[in-house]
Chain A
């Protein structure tokens, strides 16, 4: 086949230019600084997502520290009411849309294709577009800080408070447009991931031989696909009210504020499952590896995840228990909310059973995964108490619910994501994070987290509402708040430990083995870091945890037996012998038009908005006309494999044909 090589960075050949350059010659290089702007490689895009979202984690964390400083004492004077309202709104918006969602996307991007034995996602340029739209949307919404004030309506922007009457100024406009752009990014990402998982699995990988993380990616992608349009509509309605005088949330004209809440939470509830399912997928990968046992009840864990995905659509009103909707509706949604605890609990028990009887190695990744199981359970339990809707009228809008969602989102999603970072670090970067520092990170993170959010259960049930910039002395809340503030700084300290770990790790050499953890899934069968083509030879899969079963079998008592003939991780080959889709400018160009539209609309500079639309549409059109792979990058004879043909634009169908061998539909 092709020549085996030492690990090096790669370069494409020096050949004749593309057939029909548009205005500028199509980029060809996949190395160098500028190649990052035109890359369509899912691994690089995954890294971009990861780094960008981590940067926003630091920003959102800084916003949290400001909140905690302000609330450390009664009648705090660190932040004015106006500043505080912007900070808490941006803290929530940032953590949800600019941190947890894109960190999950980083994993979807990097890990999922190599878990299913694919060369890339179905639509590499669309993937790049998702990233750039995310970055530009994130920058756009944060630019509001310097352009008159950041969004200040809470992360859920209830109307009519966010209408122009009660929120004059542009704060909310930035929120509306920023979220619309982020929604575009995630929606097209979802289409991409669904297509990839449904269509590009390696031969033999049936749906129920897919790794748990890939399954959770799929369920999350469907949730994104169906939930985002609903908030898109809500945001457009608010935008039309604010910009063009529509009446959707104008009570005097008969508008109904509850319409906003229904639309928002119809999105918002599936959204929280979007936030947690990927982390659950990660934990489902990590626990078996470090316990040296398969995931207990794999089919049940998967089906529970799917069930949660479906049932998540039927609970949204539990965010509205205090809105006076009447006993029938409230009762129905109390019941549906309680029911969704069943598949969630089933997963917890399966994870514990995975560890039970295993041989547990306490690497940092495992510590975070076990932390997830414990902390998420706490969050889940407070969630069940919320489902008791009459008492939720005491719990909702207090620090008790702040405790709940931080236990599931931080104790759950962030712990899970941290586990994934330590677990997959060698695969992504070719280096292992230091274990000592990792453990220091874990313990300070765990302690800081519980110090910060544990007391919130109490102070909430002691009557402290949420979203208040200050509170009076004599309420009995002072000590709790002070402890929570201390805890927040402990978390900050633990993040510093992590950053030191990353820094030191990258000062060190490459050299992580392909399979440092003795793991189970396909991504560990290839080198670390992953070569550009992922798999030189697409594997044939014969079972769930296929890589594991090439290393081990079981004796007749079910105990692990190492196979005499251990598989070698796939050797590297000359990357130019594997044909991959070509880099492109146009995803970035198409994205760039979006913030221009945003600024134009917000400041009613319609001409600017039109220019933005022209930029985006031209970018999309040029993208449509450009083949996914340049002719000179085609490789003859070397059927090392093909990246699948991809469409030119989200709406326009593909113009790059399937290669002539036999057409694509039937293989």
Chain B
């Protein structure tokens, strides 16, 4: 329907105008306004939320740093070389994740599965490392109940560990789907979005490792 020209109103600048212009014959553009799929927008939004989650946990840790009244303190209990190795493992898993994405983008399902599995295994190695670290801390007398350090350390790294674990479940599901032929090249974005989550979890670990392990308490 043609409308008569409107007077006196300057439309605001087109922000995120529909790519490719207006309606098709069917009256509906198939794309999204931002040009990103719903899933990708949603993952970014969710990761934004997660930033605040980890931000609050890290802030709590920082607030209580050096304030424990008794019990083991960080420098007595940390094994920095050990944790550095497991951090490196997690970092490498981001590399394998990128390789997985590259594989599916060029249609190489076999390599996709190899790299997905590698990522999951590296993640699982990291988690095993954490489990070992936690149990050894507990044996040395640091539990969630012991002092402020114990509480804030286990809660912060525990939350991170749960996130990594859920990520591993996701990766294995994708691996399984690919095995059943349900993850073709056209669905590469699924792997990309999983990758976003995985890289986020990795970046959070870099922050945690720096703030919690590396920076010494005054």
A and B touch in the complex (CB under 8 A): yes
A62 at the interface (CB under 8 A from B): no
> Are B197 and A203 in contact (CB-based, < 8 A)?
no
List residues of chain B with CB within 8 A of the CB of A539: 27
List residues of chain B with CB within 8 A of the CB of A228: 49
The interface bits of chain A over 631-667 (1 if a CB of B lies within 8 angstroms of the residue's CB, else 0) are: 0000000011110111100111111011101111111
> Are A647 and B38 in contact (CB-based, < 8 A)?
yes
What CA separation (Å) do A227 and B56 show in the bound complex? 11
A439 at the interface (CB under 8 A from B): no
CB distance from B59 to the nearest CB of A (A): 8
> Are B50 and A229 in contact (CB-based, < 8 A)?
yes
A256 at the interface (CB under 8 A from B): yes
List residues of chain B with CB within 8 A of the CB of A191: 42, 45-46, 49
CB distance from B23 to the nearest CB of A (A): 5
> Are B8 and A253 in contact (CB-based, < 8 A)?
no
What CA separation (Å) do A549 and B70 show in the bound complex? 71
Pick from A129-137, A240-248, A331-339, A479-487 the stretch touching chain B. A240-248
A624 at the interface (CB under 8 A from B): yes
Chain A residue with the shortest CB-CB distance to B146: A247
The interface bits of chain B over 143-163 (1 if a CB of A lies within 8 angstroms of the residue's CB, else 0) are: 011011011100100010000
A114 at the interface (CB under 8 A from B): no
> Are A122 and B22 in contact (CB-based, < 8 A)?
no
> Are B33 and A201 in contact (CB-based, < 8 A)?
yes
> Are A263 and B45 in contact (CB-based, < 8 A)?
no
What CA separation (Å) do A567 and B2 show in the bound complex? 11
B194 at the interface (CB under 8 A from A): yes
What CA separation (Å) do A646 and B56 show in the bound complex? 30
> Are B27 and A641 in contact (CB-based, < 8 A)?
yes
List residues of chain A with CB within 8 A of the CB of B46: 191, 650-651
Main DSSP-derived SS at the A contact region: loop
List residues of chain A with CB within 8 A of the CB of B1: 550, 565, 567
Chain B, range 4-52, C-beta contacts under 8 Å to A: 4, 6-9, 11-24, 26-39, 41-43, 45-46, 48-50, 52
List residues of chain B with CB within 8 A of the CB of A241: 151
B67 at the interface (CB under 8 A from A): yes
CB distance from B25 to the nearest CB of A (A): 8
A323 at the interface (CB under 8 A from B): no
> Are A226 and B52 in contact (CB-based, < 8 A)?
yes
> Are A246 and B144 in contact (CB-based, < 8 A)?
yes
A208 at the interface (CB under 8 A from B): yes
A10 at the interface (CB under 8 A from B): no
List residues of chain B with CB within 8 A of the CB of A359: none
B105 at the interface (CB under 8 A from A): no
List residues of chain B with CB within 8 A of the CB of A225: 45, 48-49
> Are A537 and B20 in contact (CB-based, < 8 A)?
no
> Are B144 and A244 in contact (CB-based, < 8 A)?
yes
List residues of chain B with CB within 8 A of the CB of A237: 60, 155
List residues of chain A with CB within 8 A of the CB of B52: 226-227, 229-230
> Are B53 and A198 in contact (CB-based, < 8 A)?
no
Pick from A272-280, A552-560, A587-595 the stretch touching chain B. A552-560
> Are B194 and A653 in contact (CB-based, < 8 A)?
yes
The interface bits of chain B over 52-73 (1 if a CB of A lies within 8 angstroms of the residue's CB, else 0) are: 1101110010011001111000
Partner of A666, one of B20, B28, B159: B20
B189 at the interface (CB under 8 A from A): yes
A195 at the interface (CB under 8 A from B): yes
Chain A, range 265-301, C-beta contacts under 8 Å to B: 266, 299
> Are B41 and A194 in contact (CB-based, < 8 A)?
yes
> Are A554 and B7 in contact (CB-based, < 8 A)?
yes
What CA separation (Å) do A194 and B54 show in the bound complex? 21
A509 at the interface (CB under 8 A from B): no
What CA separation (Å) do A565 and B26 show in the bound complex? 23
> Are A195 and B42 in contact (CB-based, < 8 A)?
yes
> Are A646 and B173 in contact (CB-based, < 8 A)?
no
A344 at the interface (CB under 8 A from B): no
What CA separation (Å) do A244 and B150 show in the bound complex? 12
> Are A247 and B147 in contact (CB-based, < 8 A)?
yes
Chain B residue with the shortest CB-CB distance to A567: B1
Chain A, range 524-553, C-beta contacts under 8 Å to B: 537-540, 542-544, 549-550, 553
* Interface magnitude class on chain A: 35 or more
> Are B182 and A256 in contact (CB-based, < 8 A)?
no
CB distance from A253 to the nearest CB of B (A): 6
B3 at the interface (CB under 8 A from A): yes
What CA separation (Å) do A201 and B31 show in the bound complex? 10
The interface bits of chain A over 555-580 (1 if a CB of B lies within 8 angstroms of the residue's CB, else 0) are: 01010000101010000000000000
A32 at the interface (CB under 8 A from B): no
What CA separation (Å) do A259 and B151 show in the bound complex? 14
What CA separation (Å) do A624 and B39 show in the bound complex? 13
List residues of chain A with CB within 8 A of the CB of B56: 229-230, 233-234, 263, 266
> Are B49 and A254 in contact (CB-based, < 8 A)?
no
List residues of chain B with CB within 8 A of the CB of A642: 28, 30
A493 at the interface (CB under 8 A from B): no
CB distance from A579 to the nearest CB of B (A): 11
Chain B residue with the shortest CB-CB distance to A546: B3
List residues of chain B with CB within 8 A of the CB of A229: 49-50, 52-53, 55-56
Whether A246 touches B14, Cβ cut-off 8 Å, given contacts A653-B190, A659-B30, is no
List residues of chain B with CB within 8 A of the CB of A558: 7-8
A64 at the interface (CB under 8 A from B): no
A109 at the interface (CB under 8 A from B): no
Whether A554 touches B53, Cβ cut-off 8 Å, given contacts A206-B15, A208-B12, is no
List residues of chain A with CB within 8 A of the CB of B190: 653-655
> Are B53 and A199 in contact (CB-based, < 8 A)?
no
B106 at the interface (CB under 8 A from A): no
Partner of A198, one of B4, B34, B50, B177: B34
CB distance from B74 to the nearest CB of A (A): 15
Whether A226 touches B60, Cβ cut-off 8 Å, given contacts A246-B144, A558-B8, is no
Beyond known contacts A537-B27, A646-B38: 5 more, CB 8 A cutoff: A123-B38, A253-B148, A254-B148, A653-B193, A665-B36
Listed A/B pairs (28) with beta-carbon separation below 8 Å: A191-B49, A194-B45, A201-B33, A203-B22, A203-B23, A204-B22, A206-B14, A207-B12, A229-B49, A234-B56, A236-B155, A236-B159, A241-B151, A246-B145, A253-B68, A256-B63, A266-B56, A537-B26, A537-B27, A538-B23, A556-B7, A645-B38, A646-B39, A653-B194, A654-B38, A663-B186, A664-B32, A666-B31
Lowest 3 A-B CB distances belong to which pairs? A667-B31, A208-B12, A199-B32
Which B residues form the contact surface with A (CB < 8 A)? Answer: 1, 3-4, 6-9, 11-24, 26-39, 41-43, 45-46, 48-50, 52-53, 55-57, 60, 63-64, 67-70, 144-145, 147-148, 150-152, 155, 159, 166, 170, 173, 177, 182, 186-187, 189-191, 193-194, 197
Which A residues form the contact surface with B (CB < 8 A)? Answer: 122-123, 187, 190-192, 194-195, 198-201, 203-204, 206-209, 225-230, 232-234, 236-237, 240-241, 244-248, 252-256, 259, 263, 266, 299, 537-540, 542-544, 549-550, 553-554, 556, 558, 563, 565, 567, 621, 624, 639-642, 644-647, 650-655, 657-659, 661-667
